[in-house]
A and B are shown apart, each in its own frame.
Chain A
Amino acid sequence: MAGAGAAVLGLLLLLGSPGGSTGPPRDSLREELLLSPLPSGDLAATFQFRARWDSELHREGVSHYRLFPKALGQLISKYLVRELHLSLTQGFWRTRTWGQPYLQAPAGAELWVWFQDSVTDVDKAWKELSNILSGIFCASLNFIDSTNTVTPTASFKPLGLANVTDHHLLRYAVLPREVVCTENLTPWKKLLPCGSKAGLAVLLKAERLFHSSYHSQAVHIRPICRDASCLSVSWELRQTLTVVFDTFSVGQGKRDWSLFKMFSRTVTEACPLASESKIYVDISSKTQENELLEVTPLPLSVHEAPVQGDRRTYAVYDLLSPSLFNVSRSLNVQLKWKRPQDSLDLSTPVLHAQRYVSGYGLQTGEISTLIYNTHPYRAFPVILLETVPWYLRLYVHTLVITTKGKENKPSYIHYQPAQDRRRPHLLEMLIQLPANSVTKITIQFERALLKWTEYTPDPNHGFYVSPSVLSALVPSVIAMKAEDAEQNPLFTSLFPSSDGSSYFVRLYTEPLLVNLPTPDFSMPYNVICLTCTVVAVCYGSFYNLLTRTFHVEEPSRGGLAKRLANIIRKVRGVPPL
Chain B
Amino acid sequence: MAGARPAPRWLPAAAALLWACCGSAATDGIQDQAEQFFRSGHTNNWAVLVCTSRFWFNYRHVANTLSVYRSVKRLGIPDSHIVLMLADDMACNPRNPKPATVFSHKNMELNVYGDDVEVDYRSYEVTVENFLRVLTGRIPPSTPRSKRLLSDDRSNILIYMTGHGGNGFLKFQDSEEITNVELADAFEQMWQKRRYNELLFIIDTCQGASMYERFYSPNIMALASSQVGEDSLSHQPDLGIGVHLMDRYTFYVLEFLEEIHPASQTNMNDLFQVCPRSLCVSTPGHRTDLFHRDPQNVLITDFFGSVRKVEITTQTVALDPNLVGLETRVPNDEMATEPLKYAEQLPVAQIIHQKPKQKDWHPPGGFILGLWALIIMVFFKTYGIKHMKYIF
* Interface residues, chain A, with chain B CB atoms under 8 Å away: 3-4, 6-7, 9-11, 13-14, 21-23, 26, 55-56, 59, 64, 90, 127-128, 131-132, 134-136, 138-140, 142-143, 153-154, 157-163, 165, 179-183, 186-187, 205-207, 209-211, 225, 229-233, 381, 383, 411-412, 414, 430, 456-458, 471-473, 495-496, 498, 504, 521
Q: List 16 A-B contacts (CB under 8 A).
A: A10-B319, A22-B330, A23-B330, A59-B331, A140-B125, A154-B351, A179-B122, A181-B100, A182-B91, A211-B100, A225-B340, A230-B341, A233-B340, A457-B174, A473-B345, A496-B342
In the docked arrangement, what's the CA distance between A56 and B115, Å? 35
Nearest-neighbor residue (CB-CB) of A383 within chain B? B346
Within 8 A of A (CB), among B143-177: 143-147, 173-175
Residue-wise interface mask of B (90-115) relative to A, using a CB-CB cutoff of 8 A (1 in contact, 0 not): 01100000111100000000000111
Given contacts A187-B118, A206-B115, A231-B339, are A4 and B318 in contact (CB under 8 A)? yes
Which of B348, B352, B356 has the most chain A CB atoms closer than 10 A to its own CB?
Answer: B348
Interface contacts (Cβ under 8 Å), in number, total 183
> What would 14 more interface pairs be, CB under 8 Å, given A225-B340, A504-B345?
A7-B318, A21-B327, A22-B330, A131-B142, A140-B122, A157-B347, A163-B340, A182-B114, A207-B115, A210-B99, A231-B340, A232-B335, A381-B348, A383-B351
In the docked arrangement, what's the CA distance between A21 and B174, Å? 61
Asked whether, in the complex, the Cβ of B146 is within 8 Å of the Cβ of A135, the reply is yes
Whether, in the assembled complex, B334 has its beta carbon less than 8 Å from a beta carbon of chain A, the answer is: yes
Within 8 A of A (CB), among B67-82: none
Asked whether, in the complex, the Cβ of A161 is within 8 Å of the Cβ of B55, the reply is no
In the docked arrangement, what's the CA distance between A210 and B357, Å? 44
Contacts of B122 in A (CB 8 A): 138-140, 179, 183
Whether, in the assembled complex, B117 has its beta carbon less than 8 Å from a beta carbon of chain A, the answer is: yes
Given contacts A10-B323, A11-B319, A232-B333, are A496 and B142 in contact (CB under 8 A)? no
CB proximity of B127 to chain A, nearest CB, Å: 9
CB proximity of B170 to chain A, nearest CB, Å: 15
Whether, in the assembled complex, B344 has its beta carbon less than 8 Å from a beta carbon of chain A, the answer is: yes
Whether, in the assembled complex, B14 has its beta carbon less than 8 Å from a beta carbon of chain A, the answer is: no
Within 8 A of A (CB), among B336-362: 336, 338-348, 351-352, 354, 356-357
Asked whether, in the complex, the Cβ of A22 is within 8 Å of the Cβ of B354, the reply is no
Asked whether, in the complex, the Cβ of A209 is within 8 Å of the Cβ of B100, the reply is yes
Nearest-neighbor residue (CB-CB) of A54 within chain B? B333
Asked whether, in the complex, the Cβ of B117 is within 8 Å of the Cβ of A186, the reply is yes
In the docked arrangement, what's the CA distance between A135 and B80, Å? 11
Whether, in the assembled complex, B248 has its beta carbon less than 8 Å from a beta carbon of chain A, the answer is: no
List the 4 closest A-B pairs by CB distance, nearest first: A135-B144, A181-B92, A496-B342, A210-B100
Contacts of B123 in A (CB 8 A): 140, 179
Nearest-neighbor residue (CB-CB) of A456 within chain B? B124
Nearest-neighbor residue (CB-CB) of A139 within chain B? B122
Asked whether, in the complex, the Cβ of A430 is within 8 Å of the Cβ of B348, the reply is yes
Contacts of A128 in B (CB 8 A): 142
Given contacts A153-B354, A165-B343, A458-B54, are A142 and B125 in contact (CB under 8 A)? yes
Contacts of A183 in B (CB 8 A): 117-119, 122
Which of the four size classes fits the interface of chain B? 35 or more
Given contacts A90-B92, A138-B118, are A457 and B173 in contact (CB under 8 A)? yes
Contacts of B116 in A (CB 8 A): 182, 186
Whether, in the assembled complex, B328 has its beta carbon less than 8 Å from a beta carbon of chain A, the answer is: yes
CB proximity of B91 to chain A, nearest CB, Å: 5
In the docked arrangement, what's the CA distance between A458 and B340, Å? 50
Which residue of A13, A131, A182, A496 is within 8 Å of B117 (Cβ)?
A: A182
CB proximity of A436 to chain B, nearest CB, Å: 21
Asked whether, in the complex, the Cβ of B328 is within 8 Å of the Cβ of A229, the reply is no
Nearest-neighbor residue (CB-CB) of B124 within chain A? A456
In the docked arrangement, what's the CA distance between A500 and B320, Å? 60
Contacts of B142 in A (CB 8 A): 127-128, 131-132
Which residue of A6, A56, A161, A210 is within 8 Å of B340 (Cβ)?
A: A161
Within 8 A of A (CB), among B259-282: none
Contacts of B356 in A (CB 8 A): 414
Asked whether, in the complex, the Cβ of A134 is within 8 Å of the Cβ of B343, the reply is no
Contacts of A90 in B (CB 8 A): 92
Nearest-neighbor residue (CB-CB) of A228 within chain B? B339
Contacts of A142 in B (CB 8 A): 125, 143
In the docked arrangement, what's the CA distance between A506 and B249, Å? 52
CB proximity of B50 to chain A, nearest CB, Å: 15
CB proximity of A573 to chain B, nearest CB, Å: 49
In the docked arrangement, what's the CA distance between A457 and B100, Å? 24
In the docked arrangement, what's the CA distance between A7 and B317, Å? 10
Asked whether, in the complex, the Cβ of B147 is within 8 Å of the Cβ of A135, the reply is yes
CB proximity of B263 to chain A, nearest CB, Å: 27
Contacts of B323 in A (CB 8 A): 10, 14
Nearest-neighbor residue (CB-CB) of A225 within chain B? B340
Whether, in the assembled complex, B313 has its beta carbon less than 8 Å from a beta carbon of chain A, the answer is: no
Which residue of A231, A381, A412 is within 8 Å of B354 (Cβ)?
A: A412
In the docked arrangement, what's the CA distance between A496 and B321, Å? 51
Whether, in the assembled complex, B89 has its beta carbon less than 8 Å from a beta carbon of chain A, the answer is: yes
Which residue of B113, B342, B348 is within 8 Å of A162 (Cβ)?
A: B342
Contacts of A414 in B (CB 8 A): 356
Asked whether, in the complex, the Cβ of A131 is within 8 Å of the Cβ of B125, the reply is no
In the docked arrangement, what's the CA distance between A186 and B341, Å? 35
In the docked arrangement, what's the CA distance between A498 and B346, Å? 10
Contacts of B342 in A (CB 8 A): 158-162, 496, 498
CB proximity of A457 to chain B, nearest CB, Å: 4
Nearest-neighbor residue (CB-CB) of B126 within chain A? A457
Whether, in the assembled complex, B324 has its beta carbon less than 8 Å from a beta carbon of chain A, the answer is: yes
Contacts of B173 in A (CB 8 A): 457
Asked whether, in the complex, the Cβ of B345 is within 8 Å of the Cβ of A211, the reply is no
Contacts of B320 in A (CB 8 A): 7
